[in-house]
Amino acid sequence: MIKPHGADALIPLFVSDAEQHKALTAEAETLPSLLVSSAAAANAVMLGAGYFTPLKGYMNLADSLAVAKDLCTTDGLFWPVPIVNLSKDAQGITAGQRIALRDPNVEGNPVLAIMDVEAVETVSAEQIDFMAENIFGTLDEKHPGVQTFKGQGNTLLSGPIQVLNFSYFQADFPETFRTAVEIRNEIAERGWNKVVAFQTRNPMHRAHEELCRMAMDDLGTDGILIHMLLGQLKPGDIPAHVRDASIRKMVDVYFPKNTVMITGYGFDMLYAGPREAVLHALFRQNCGCTHLIVGRDHAGVGDYYGGFDAQTIFDEKVPAGAMDIEIYRADHTAYSKKLDKVVMMRDAPDHEKEDFVLLSGTKVREMLGAGIAPPPEFSRPEVAKILMDYYQIEDAKA
């Protein structure tokens, strides 16, 4: 199986030994506490689950700036996005302390992890802007990722952590949330060697479904990992439980058995476009995948990124050999009326726009809210039914 990034084996920071877990849980109640941001909590979950191998905790300022600038830590580890614990509320916390990190997303703010604080650094406004502009390609605070990043605070706490739970993800999505360790183990159990990953924060329509098939056929893979984000999204995005139900229905009805793994991971969406695409590739390598589908405007939002910037970054910014996972480059995919099937638009040069079944997100939302199923060329009826039910409930609340 493909090796993890920067290590011979995964390095999950979750404390799995029952006795040690019990002792740390008791110790945590005696330690100074810090209520972390949702972004820092999501980083802890990803570190705990082994997705961020080989990191041992949160990055310091020097590493954060180096990663933002050059996609590389000060000691030479390739990494595309700073993994940080920025805070507004770290008064009284000093280097050398051991502290309990509390979860902002679970009632009662239980302890999420214990941190050995190696450094407490003040980040200047200029340094925050430098990182934000490099990560997101803009400083426009209408960009949801910029807004979140710049709103976390300017005190940076760095150091290793020991993770005690996976926030709300394991409880809310018991059938779907999986650690990188669990995914690797299941890939091995299935006897898969070549695996392509599909990233999604949305329900999957016909184009997405067929894109998965195209990638599997073109690459000759043993299976596909449909890996959905389960964390925080921007307002208006479809919640995870609805996406989960619609994707499971699509796979159950339309894919052969033992060709698809449906899983999810506990992370908040960054909307960082190209940088996030590289992060997606890196932690899919840690899951054991050999390929990642990178499509048009992967991990994008609005008009902040060019349609294929998330593909060209792998040519322009990712050094040869930095990662072992490979990219499957996809074009916009849509149903061709001429050919009576879903195709990549680049593969149909004789087509005009009207030869495709194309619906805007706004139009689809209006149809679903009105109880009108999109055409079957766009969305499977079983998927449309789940989404119609959701939107009609939401519209009734409004």
Provide the greatest CA pair distance for the chain.
Answer: 69
Q: How far apart are CA 79 and CA 73, in angstroms?
A: 7
Is the per-residue pLDDT at 238 higher than 80? Answer: yes
Angle between helices 274-287 and 180-190 (to 10 degrees): 60
Q: Has 286 been annotated as catalytic?
A: no
Taking residues 326-341, what's their average pLDDT?
94
- The pTM for the full model equals 0.96
For 71-91, the pLDDT digits (tens) are 999 999 999 999 999 999 899
CA dihedral (237, 239, 242, 248) positive or negative: positive
Alpha carbons 131 and 139: distance in angstroms, whole number:
10
**Dihedral pair phi/psi, residue 55, rounded to 5°:** -65, 145
Q: What is the pLDDT of residues 301-312, one digit of tens each?
A: 999 999 999 999
pLDDT (0 to 100) of residue 168: 97
Residue extents of the structural domains in the chain:
18-170, 175-397
Residues 6+ apart with CB under 8 A from 293: 196, 197, 198, 199, 211, 212, 215, 328, 330
Q: Which CATH architecture has domain 18-170?
A: Roll (3.10)
For residue 22, the model assigns a pLDDT of 98
Single out the catalytic residue among 109, 154, 202, 248: 202
Q: Could you read off the pLDDT of 257-303 as tens digits, one per residue?
A: 999 999 999 999 999 999 999 999 999 999 999 999 999 999 999 99
How far apart are alpha carbons 264 and 227 in whole angstroms? 5
Residues 57/159, Cβ–Cβ less than 8 Å: yes
- Contacting residues for 335 by C-beta, under 8 A, at least 6 apart: 206, 207, 341, 342, 356, 357, 377, 378
Q: Is 284 a catalytic residue?
A: no
3-class SS of residue 164: coil
Q: Which residue is catalytic, options 98, 190, 201, 248?
A: 201
Phi, psi (rounded to 5 degrees) for 343: -135, 160
Question: CATH code for 175-397?
Answer: 3.40.50.620
Quick: pLDDT tens for 164-218: 999 999 999 999 999 999 999 999 999 999 999 999 998 999 999 999 999 999 9
How remote is the C-alpha of 118 from its chain's centroid? 27
Residue 23 corresponds to which tokens in the numbers above?
């002792």
Q: Is the pLDDT of residue 139 over 90?
A: yes
pLDDT over 90 (residue 328) = yes
Summary mean pLDDT of the chain: 95
pLDDT band for 234, please (50, 70, 90 cuts): confident
CA 25: distance to chain centroid?
Answer: 28
Residue 398 has pLDDT above 70, yes or no: no
Closest listed residue to residue 259, CA positions, set 209, 206, 192: 192
| pLDDT average, residue stretch 13-22 | 98
Tokens of 232: 């925080």
Is the model's pLDDT at 58 over the cut of 70? yes
- Written as one letter, the residue type at 194 is K
Q: How far apart, in whole angstroms, are the C-alpha atoms of residue 44 and residue 39?
A: 9
Q: In this structure, what are the phi and psi dihedrals at residue 120, rounded to the nearest 5 degrees?
A: -125, 110
